[in-house]
Structure 1
């Protein structure tokens, strides 16, 4: 019997055995594939990290200086040959957009692309850097034992709709090239640590813009496709859809669209620092400024930087996001030398609170993107990466502060070591204030307090004295029965070495 015939019999018998045992051939790839070379992928990932670093540096002197107004054309915004290095040495905290991202990048490097939400939460909650707004509220919640999936929820976090995750979602998009579903899934794990509702959608939208920027060279396509990931019934979707519509109506006048944004979308309902104040750190408003820069910049890096910065409010984070998305779309090699040369001088400088410099981040970015592609059914064959394509699907709908509208403020102005009390009429409140030591020798042990509403005990919690662990506001409660209420915050063990400083309460009807 010939050897070839024996091989044939073995093949037939093996096939019969596999069929009898229920084995099935692996499914073949279906649908379209997006192909990109490793060199192009690397260039785009470098462009994304470079663009956001350039943007946050450019906006350095303007952050929250222009609240409710744009920066006039005649007002110069500095930029020079050593500007990035100067910023990193002079004000390392400016780069919170970047080092927060890098905290999550380091988790992925240690635990892989499927690292659980709790690992991301623990990493940033235990980091030593300063945080504000939703990030700090989420950190406090994590340190107090609230699960990562709930620490950004509006009932636990008065800053749930703030910009925080929107400015930190870059990493999720940069490691999800042309994979919007994968970007959204990663945002679900990380974004709810500090945000919810429109605050979470800001990150989903940004990550999806990055994902789209790998495969499209048209800004309008990148923005429009990314918006499909956001539920249409959300205010975030409606705000960005309005900006797109106004751009079509006023294609050469970004200031006219800026005025339309102010007229319809500048009201603040959540952030206690922004309600009844010109400051607005709401995710959707600042995302509107990002889109304003991208659409009216139309692929021009300089115009995009100028417009997204001159729109005001969080005017370092917004050009950082716009610059990151556009840098990904253009690639590192096509960022104009005017912007790129000062960055190159700083690429070996580690960011604050991390050992990573940009040159390290570039390498990790490519490594994690390739891992994420492989985990999501992609194939790397030599120099070519093939990525299965699926339509963009909206994430689930959620809403922060439903039915709550700012109705006024109650001036409390109380400084006591034992208790704070005030009355209000409404269905919710946020009491702004802090605790402080009156003696240098006093310990940093948190002050334990109990919250009573209408003389009924509600909860007991800590007010930490360490700034990195602080509670963003003294206390809050939403969804009460509408009407008159009395709020009392009592120290469980009053100590004359400490005092509770209560400023004012934001009241909701």
Structure 2
């Protein structure tokens, strides 16, 4: 683990977070459709392609029968075809959060988050709760009504995927990271949707200084209500892991216990994420591979798992098959950022972390 006491150490860990998020997102993107690409179908795909255990980006479709089509963007996301990251909201929101902190500082308001969406983010590149909130903003509503009016997605995963920037800029301060993430999340989410953002921000923040994955999870759990369904589900995954249940059986158990919530809901995805982190045990490749193989919102879960694992290991320790195809380049729908260098995003994030009051 790279120390964070020095600027080079912190810089390596911040860059690791960015690279991990983008690589994990790219890994999961071709199979991002949880009601179609189940855990069993993902592994069937990998077996047909001779790619188990998974240790690189997804291979091209093996051409066998019985497999559903991949996402339309798959040609930009499979091994051998990647030349920089393709555009995705899981990365767009990290970039937008960086712009928010650079523009308004750490005292930003929820209203300023909404104003920046309208200024920088195309409406058609928003989805579920974010699209509902965007529409409400355009119609003149203000927070918290933007999250609650005509929005059936309030507990879904959208706020969680926006939280990384608050963890990266508050290294070792999970409560502060969670407070920032909450201020952002309430624009579009309530309840477990907000707690998911707080949990993710705190988890990433804690990864800078915790002794390992379990320590980071314990710190992240401390910032959300202990009686919330999210907290109870994360603790359940931890207990099954501690009982030495296999990764497969752990996910089967949690799928039964969260049945009916849907594949984009925060709670079942937090279960997949937590299992990937615990059974990955700090190894970057194993962590992102298990998380994506877990199914549900594969690109979002892969991105968050990659961010945590990348912070834990540092950029220099991420195997090159994940980073070299990215060519230090990001495609983005955020106005003014398309084609930006990953290294530039990490350097700007580092400056924010160093300047935080």
Please give the TM-score of this superposition, normalised by the length of structure 1: 0.60
1:144 to 139, 146, 157: 139
Deviation of the 1:287 alpha carbon:
1.2
Contact 1:52 1:320 in 2 (8 A): yes
CA distance in structure 1 between the partners assigned to 2:152 and 2:189 by the alignment: 10
Please give the per-residue CA displacement for 1:13-44, whole angstroms capped at 9, x wherever unaligned. Answer: xxxxxxxxxxxxxxxxxxxxx97211111111
Q: Which residue of 1 aligns with 2:283?
A: 300
Distance 1:100 1:181 in 2: 21
Q: 1:187 to 1:149 in 2, by over 3 A?
A: farther
Q: Which has the higher strand share?
A: 1
1:310 pairs with one of 286, 293, 298: 293
Q: 1:325 offset after TM fit, Å?
A: 0.6
Q: Which runs of 5+ in 1 are unaligned?
A: 1-33, 269-273, 275-279, 376-509
Cα deviation, 1:100-135, whole Å, max 9, x if unaligned, reads 221121122122221222111111134215111111
Report the equivalent of 1:396.
none
Distance 2:201 2:19 in 1: 16
The structure whose Rg is larger is 1
Structure 2 gaps of 5+ residues are 52-57, 60-77
**1:350–1:358 Cα contact (<8 Å) kept:** no
CA distance in structure 2 between the partners assigned to 1:56 and 1:361 by the alignment: 16
Alignment RMSD: 1.9
Residues 355-504 of structure 1 correspond to what in structure 2 (within 5 A)? 355=337, 356-372=340-356, 375=357
Once the two structures are TM-superposed, the CA of residue 80 in structure 1 deviates from its matched residue by 2.6
* Offset of residue 338 of structure 1: 2.0
Q: Larger relative CO (CA 8 A, sep 6+): 1 or 2?
A: 2
Aligned with 1:74 (options 47, 54, 62): 47
How far off is 1:249 after superposition? 1.6
2:237 equivalent among 239, 243, 250: 243
8 Å contact from structure 1 (residues 149, 189) kept in 2 = no
For 1:172, the equivalent position in structure 2 comes to 166
Question: Separation in 2 of the partners of 1:150 and 1:334?
Answer: 44
Instruction: Note the C-alpha offset of 1:150.
Output: 3.4
Matched, 1:59 2:52: no
Q: CA 1:196 to 1:47, structure 2 compared with 1: closer, same or farther past 3 Å?
A: same
Q: Distance in 2 between matches of 1:84 and 1:316?
A: 18
Give the equivalent residue in structure 2 for 1:390.
Answer: none
- CA 361–263 in structure 1, closer or farther in 2 if over 3 Å, else same: same
2-structure distance, mates of 1:156, 1:316: 26
Give the 3 Å change call, closer, same or farther, for CA 68–338 of structure 1 in structure 2: closer
Give me the whole-angstrom Cα distance separating, in 1, the residues matched to 2:130 and 2:345: 22
Within the candidate set 161, 164, 167, 2:155 is matched to 161
Q: Give the distance between the partners of 1:264 and 1:202, measured in 2 at CA.
A: 18
CA deviations on 1:71-97 (whole Å, 9 max, x unpaired) are 225254225355252x52xxx2xx211
Q: Equivalent residues in 2 for 1:10-409 (5 A)?
A: 36-64=5-33, 66-70=36-40, 71-72=42-43, 74-75=47-48, 76=51, 77-78=58-59, 79-85=78-84, 88=86, 92=87, 95-126=88-119, 127-128=121-122, 129-153=124-148, 156-251=150-245, 253-268=246-261, 274=262, 280-343=263-326, 345=327, 347-353=328-334, 354-355=336-337, 356-372=340-356, 375=357
The Cα of 1:233 is off from its aligned counterpart by 1.2
Task: Supply the distance in 2 between the matched residues of 1:131 and 1:42 (Cα, whole angstroms).
Answer: 30
> Alpha-carbon deviation of 1:226?
0.7
Q: Taking structure 2 as the reference length, what is the TM-score of the superposition?
A: 0.85
User: Aligned with 2:156: secondary structure?
Assistant: coil
Task: Report deviation, 1:59.
Answer: 0.9
Aligned length: 320
CA distance in 2, matches of 1:370, 1:82: 37
Q: Give the aligned partner of residue 495 of structure 1.
A: none
